[in-house]
Amino acid sequence: MSVATPYFDQLFAGNDDPWAFRQRWYEQRKRALTLAVLTRPRYTSIFEPGCANGELSAELASRCERLVCCDTASAAVRLAQARMVDFPHAQVEQRRLPEQWPTGQFELIVLSELCYYLDVEDLHRLMDRALAALTDDGQLLACHWRPYIDGCPQTAEQVHALLQQRWGMPPLVQHHDNDFLLDLWSRDGTSVACHEGLR
């Protein structure tokens, strides 16, 4: 069974940064690497489900023309909305995925620290909706903490193996260390150098 919304509501009860996104070097480094693997300087549209308090969202907002973020916890949504107040092209909504997937097409979908909270059935449904929502040259980024998380139905390895199976092609960019897995898949498979005519 996927982790229910009250679990996340409890994490945010009286705590505006339950994972210490702003304080921990681990989180700062992971955000920097996440942004560094993106092969395009700007994207037309980005979707970030599970945005929490919006720390990564603010970084993504500077790289796109339209950003849609969502979270299942109402407190997280309020915090992210406050964090994004200087980005009029960004919207933050309360949604429970995969059933409340937003409308529209996205050039980049960012699944960061989200998918292991979903059981296999819900992750399959989320992948169906993500692939249907990607543009013809769209990209999918996944980043997940490797150690086991008590109460989560899946591990990072299980999630990324399933994403790889559904994607059906090797990642365009990959960073795996002892702490987390980070993969970027792209429908067009074009490298940065090829985009710039260097190859």
Counting the structural domains of the chain, the total is 1
- For the entire predicted model, the pTM comes to 0.95
Specify if 185 maps to a domain.
Answer: yes
Specify if 11 maps to a domain.
Answer: no
Q: What is the pLDDT of residues 78-104, one digit of tens each?
A: 999 999 999 999 999 999 999 999 999
CATH number, residue 50: 3.40.50.150
Strand-pair category, 90-94 with 64-71: parallel
Structural domain boundaries, residue 167: 24-195
What is the C-alpha to C-alpha distance for residues 184 and 199, in angstroms, rounded to an integer?
20
Instruction: Say what the pLDDT of residue 192 is.
Output: 83
DSSP state of 137: E
Specify if 122 maps to a domain.
Answer: yes
Confidence band for 26, pLDDT divided at 50, 70 and 90: very high
Query: Cβ distance 148 to 156 under 8 Å?
Result: no
E strands in the chain: 43-49, 64-71, 90-94, 106-112, 134-145, 173-176, 180-186
Specify if 1 maps to a domain.
Answer: no
Specify if 8 maps to a domain.
Answer: no
List the structure tokens of 195: 């985009």
What is the C-alpha to C-alpha distance for residues 76 and 97, in angstroms, rounded to an integer?
15
Instruction: Say what the pLDDT of residue 191 is.
Output: 79
